[in-house]
Structure 1
Amino acid sequence: MKKLFKYIFIGLIGICSSCSKFEEINSNPEATDKVTSAMLATRIIINLANQPSQKSFMHPYLLNKNIVWTEFVESYQYNGFGAGSLGFTSLNDAHFMVDFASSEKLARSYEGLMYFARAVKFFEATMDLGDIPYQEALKGESDKVYFPKFDEQKDVFIGILNELDKADKAFSEGEKFTGDPLYAGNTEKWRKLVNSYALNVLIQLSKKESVNELDIKNRFAQILNNRPIFTSNADNFQLIRSDKSGQTYPFYKVGNNFTIYPIVSSEIIERLKSLKDRRLFYYANPSAKRLKDGKQVSDFDAYVGIDPSLPYDNVLAIKNSTDYSKLNDRYLEIPEGEPTQQLSYAQLCFIISEAASRGWVSTEAKEWYKKGIESSMKFIYSNTPNTVQYHHGMPLDDSYISTFVTDLAANFPTNLEARVEAIITQKYLASYLQSEYATYYDYRRTGYPKWKINPASSLNSEAPNKIPVRWKYPDSEYSFNSKNLQEALDRQFNGVDEINQLIWILK
């Protein structure tokens, strides 16, 4: 028994003596053992700027009527909505960027990023759902608030705009910071983004311009006239792609089994053809049937879109006929593709043009309209190899752009409603496979572009002649925060969580 105890004791000594080496043996000498502000910043920025890949990349562009999907019936193509999400939970640890900063100026820069990220995530959530938790959101760890109350949408927007103001001020008092894959920590670039994004938020409130608490017109004018905003495509809120694992264009062909399914929508092709707009030749490939019948790749009539509202059987019949346009090869063949945008200079130009048309600011609406079209075309041209494969002999060179923009602007409407339609239509054409749900938000707010709706194919059972105006609240809120959710539903929609119920900004 004593001998057995002796062996056990010696074994324990051996184990304990090796414990001190365990950490050393199991540590990766090339990995950091401490979370830094830069590491958190990179994760947060990528979360804000990135888009999903392969089929998931295409989902918003089915809703936006950019493309038609031919694999099987896709709900967004036929206006079927389910539950949304409260994506701001990804910011639970954003405040640590500030806490871990090594200087006061760096802390201010990371604070600016925190405020901006909060504004973006709360904006996306309220745009999709309506009333959301705001004042009590993200306070589970700090204040033990695990079941946050829902704020009215007006108050959420006031909070978003105030956080963008705070972000601009913080960046103005900060310094260059690390961990930034977008602007390399340039705080002036971030100020341009923050203020351009604020203008984007304000234009989405166009139906509420008379609400005093929002002060929409004065806010818009103050930002436009006194703060830095985007001035070129170099400022775009975008991810520049590369031929590296995890960084390629989201619909690049390698490892992508879904490249055979998308067809360019007639909502895009017919508008471009009617204007003789060469962006058509960069967005689409010509119809195989039209080429066989003698059309040239440089003929506008060689391009054929499919009406996304057609019943699925009709879509399949057209696909079997080969008389349709696939995506341009540049979306599939080039690993880097084009940068993927969340907000572009072109879109900002159209936002300012609309605000000027509405009388919010005293600047020339037509000039911003022209700038928007021009910058859209230059973005495409500068991010596409100058070969016939990708522009079909119809390049967007400077001479063409200048003539096209001048001619189009000559017919810029004089009355407000026609102007809004022209602006939103051009904003739509400039946002092809870009900015996720931005053009849906514009459609929902203005009714433009006038997309075709077919009650016979609609999955919106409650209102088959309409596109839904919101998503339902996520199941998690029903499971864990049902009392507060029910209060919000009663306040907004008479207790019914339904996709055709108007949220406050649309009333």
Structure 2
Amino acid sequence: MTTIYSKFKKYGIYAMMLGTFAACQKSKFAEINTDPEKLPIVSPEGQFLNAVVQIHSGDFEYFYDFYRTIMPFTEMTTANGGNTASFISDNTGNANNRYGYYYTRVGNNLVNVMKLIEAMPAEEQAKRAHEKAIAKLLNIYYAWYVSDINGSIPYSEAFQARYGGTITPKYDTQAALYDLWDTELKAIAATLADNSVAQTTFGSNDLYYQGSSSKWLKCANSLRLKIASRLSKVAPEKLKSIATEVLAAGGLFEDNSDDLQLIAGDKFTEGGNWNPLGFHSSKSLVDFMLANADPRLRVFYQKNDYSKENFDLAVAQGALPANSVFPTNRYVGAFSSPDAVSANPGYFRTRKIKNAQGNDQNLDTVSLIQYRLFQPEYTYNAVVGTGHVTFPLLSYADICFLRAELAAKGIAGSDAEGWYYKGVEASIRNYDVMAANAKLPDYVALTEDEIANYKNSAGVKYDAAKAVELIASQAFLNYYKNPNEAWAILKRLGMPNATTPLALEVMKASGVTQVIPRRASLNVADETNLNVANNRAALTEMAQNPDFGEGPSDIFGRVWWDKK
């Protein structure tokens, strides 16, 4: 992972985009992307850069999919005022933005990279073998991300119309996709390991690794293992075979510098759709993190409004009783269960005071999420933030926890305890860097003692008898900034849950246990859609799965990998 914030500190990565496309305005670039005759004047490097930016510029995904859907129902956050009885169904209608992003923003650009290279003379193609492999790897990553909650998707025949292919691509089944992606990633790794021909690189157009083939090689191997982990329920023997092969070959992420993540400039997330205003911390996470002195607590969540100054003002102004005792803990999580919210009506109560500046202020008891972790430009006290946002896709910590799980289950590899502790430390260090880059207000830097004490705390210290529970709990916390993977952990392992070291609430509404969604509401093409026949065929095929649910719109149904 190469940070880019120092190079683009003033203007963010948009400065880089403008420099790359200085010869053509935005309208011209759009024209080029829709006219195959004009495509050759765009470079593979420019198309790759555009794809990377588009992967991370999906503000509607944060607004709808993360803030209002995945993070509340996985208990990472709670809604302003508490979750209502219908909070899951109320907030899923506009989710699944990744599907549209892939087919309109991301996949087309990455396929263009590959096709531009394929149109070059053989000698030039040989020099760009690594570039083509990297574009294919990133396309696999995002297609996998889309399929993860959609099941069958167009992939092998997608984006080919401008190159003489079909305008009605078939939908590949998820089972076929997992076979294909494994084969492709294995071939990509072989290509990236071959240095027999001097290679052209994406250079600074590669916002992840600055064109480093050795970094992308580790990423290919790590992504292969990560994708295979989804097979743990539906095809455990295949997972074992792939994991054994990958671990034997080596070449995985080795430390946090290998992470596939983007650190964007200080203008990237400005604007309303990135705004995380009003979302609170969850009691389940805060209680666990407090009990074990988790250093990430101050990264994930803000202290509540009861500073000593505000507390004293509240007492002096009669907003609190005169005999009130100052609460030394200022991290307070909110109940996730709608019934618990109803049973504790005063939990979200705010008290009004005149603050030290003589202005009206509401004192909120419950801790809010750290706004600047998600939107570094967020304005506090009329001061606009100037930090840099981190978008993690695949990290060393992810791979550590996965290797720990594989070893603990006896599937592949060894030293579950060692990999578990490496994952814990890598995650804590990662979030410390994220916090510093985002310039969280009043952030206190991590200390070595905090890491050591956390690893030795009662809820974290390794115990072989409950190894998978511990690993799942820590992996879940690690995915705070990658909510899709936190959701996947819950679906794949059924952990964390009410009995794991990190104990989640049992969410109930009117006494009825609320289950979390398992997939997206799937698109049903209408008769005017050119690809309606393939869409209907795919839905019919997926419906043969006994776990599919009651129809395409059933978000509690399951895709192929999420077997009961």
TM-score under structure 2 normalisation?
Answer: 0.72
Deviation per CA, 1:430-483: give whole Å up to 9, x if none: 222x1231110111111112243534279xxxx963112111222447752333
On the 8 A contact 1:381/1:397 being kept in 2, the answer is: no
Specify the SS of the correspondent of 2:223: helix
What secondary structure is seen at the aligned counterpart in 1 of 2:393?
A: strand
C-alpha separation in 2, matches of 1:95 and 1:129: 21
Identity %: 20
State the secondary structure of the residue aligned to 1:198: helix
The match for 1:47 is 54
What is residue 453 of structure 2 aligned with on the other side? 403
State the partner residue of 1:447: 494
Q: Is the Cα contact below 8 Å between 1:204 and 1:442 reproduced in 2?
A: no
Distance 2:86 2:184 in 1: 32
8 A contact 1:106–1:177 mirrored in 2: no
CA distance in structure 1 between the partners assigned to 2:527 and 2:100 by the alignment: 13
Task: Report 1:207-246 matches (<5 A).
Answer: 207-211=233-237, 215-243=238-266, 245-246=267-268
CA distance in 1, matches of 2:460, 2:489: 24
Superposed, 1:56-205 pairs within 5 Å as 56=64, 58-59=67-68, 60-70=70-80, 78=88, 81-82=92-93, 84=96, 85=99, 87-89=101-103, 90-101=106-117, 103-173=124-194, 175=199, 176-178=201-203, 179-205=205-231
Cα distance between partner residues in 2 of 1:478 and 1:402: 61
Q: Distance in 1 between matches of 2:221 and 2:478?
A: 21
Deviation string, structure 1 residues 317-366 (Cα, Å, up to 9, x no partner): 53333221123465346432452211221122111111111222232011
2:23 maps to 31
Q: Work out which of the residue numbers 349, 366, 384 in structure 2 matches 1:320.
A: 349
**Deviates most, 329-338 or 348-357:** 329-338
Structure 2 counterparts to residues 339-378 of structure 1, below 5 A? 339-378=390-429
Match of 1:430 in 2: 478
Partner deviation per Cα, 1:176-222 (whole Å, 9 max, x = no partner): 333211111011111112221121111121113445xxx32232122
Superposed CA RMSD in Å reads 3.5
Specify whether residues 75 and 342 from structure 1 end up closer, same or farther in structure 2 by C-alpha distance, changes over 3 A only. Answer: farther
Corresponding residue to 1:485 among 532, 535, 543? 535
Match in the other structure for 2:560: 504
* C-alpha displacement of 1:119: 1.2
Query: Structure 1 stretch 487-496 or stretch 381-390: which is displaced more?
Result: 381-390
What letter is aligned with 1:81? T
Alpha-carbon separation, structure 1, partners of 2:85 and 2:528 = 25
Distance 1:76 1:146, change over 3 A: farther
Task: Tell me by how many angstroms 1:142 deviates.
Answer: 3.5
Q: Distance in 1 between matches of 2:521 and 2:46?
A: 34
Q: Secondary structure at the match of 1:123?
A: helix
Where in structure 2 are the equivalents of 1:243-392 lying within 5 Å?
Answer: 243=266, 245-246=267-268, 250=269, 258-289=275-306, 292=311, 294-295=325-326, 299=328, 301-310=329-338, 318-321=347-350, 322-328=364-370, 330-331=372-373, 332=378, 334-385=385-436, 390-391=442-443
Gaps of 5+ in 2: 1-20, 29-40, 312-323, 351-363, 498-503, 545-549
CA contact 1:369–1:409 (8 Å) conserved in 2: no
For 2:23, what is the secondary structure of its paired residue?
A: coil
Instruction: Letter of the 2:534 partner, please give it.
Output: N
Counterpart CA distance in 2 for 1:314 and 1:145 is 57
**What number of residue pairs does the alignment pair up?**
459
Distance 1:316 1:105, change over 3 A: farther
Hey, which bits of structure 1, 4+ residues long, moved more than 6 A? 71-76, 254-257, 311-316
- What secondary structure sits across from 2:59 in the alignment? coil
- 2-structure distance, mates of 1:368, 1:313: 42
Name the larger-Rg structure.
1
Partner Cα distance (1:478, 1:348) in 2: 44
* SS of match in other structure, 1:360: coil
Aligned to 1:18: none
In the aligned structure 2, how far is the partner of 1:233 from the partner of 1:139?
36
Aligned residue in 2 for 1:413: 463
Shift of 1:295: 4.5
- TM-score, length-normalised on structure 1? 0.79
Tell me, yes or no, if the aligned pair for 1:86 and 1:474 is still in contact at 8 Å.
no
Counterparts of 1:168 and 1:75, CA distance in 2: 48
Change (3 A) 1:31 1:172: same
What is the CA–CA distance in structure 1 between the aligned matches of 2:245 and 2:473, rounded to whole Å?
A: 27
Code of the residue aligned with 1:155 in structure 2: it is: A
User: What runs of 5+ residues in structure 1 fail to find an aligned partner?
Assistant: 1-28
- 8 Å contact 2:209–2:215 — kept in the other structure? yes
Equivalent of residue 523 in structure 2, options 461, 474, 486: 474
Distance 1:472 1:81 in 2: 8
Amino acid at match of 1:65: E
1:448–1:150 Cα change, 3 Å: same
**Match of 1:483, as an amino acid?**
A
Provide the rounded CA distance (Å) in 2 between the counterparts of 1:348 and 1:232: 10
Shift of 1:172: 2.4
| Residues 64 and 437, structure 1, Cα contact 8 Å, conserved in 2 | no
From the superposition, tell whether residues 47 and 315 of structure 1 become closer, same or farther in structure 2 (CA, over 3 Å).
Answer: farther
Pair 426,72 (structure 1): closer, same or farther in 2 beyond 3 Å: closer
The amino acid that maps onto 2:169 is P
Q: Which amino acid aligns with 2:246?
A: I
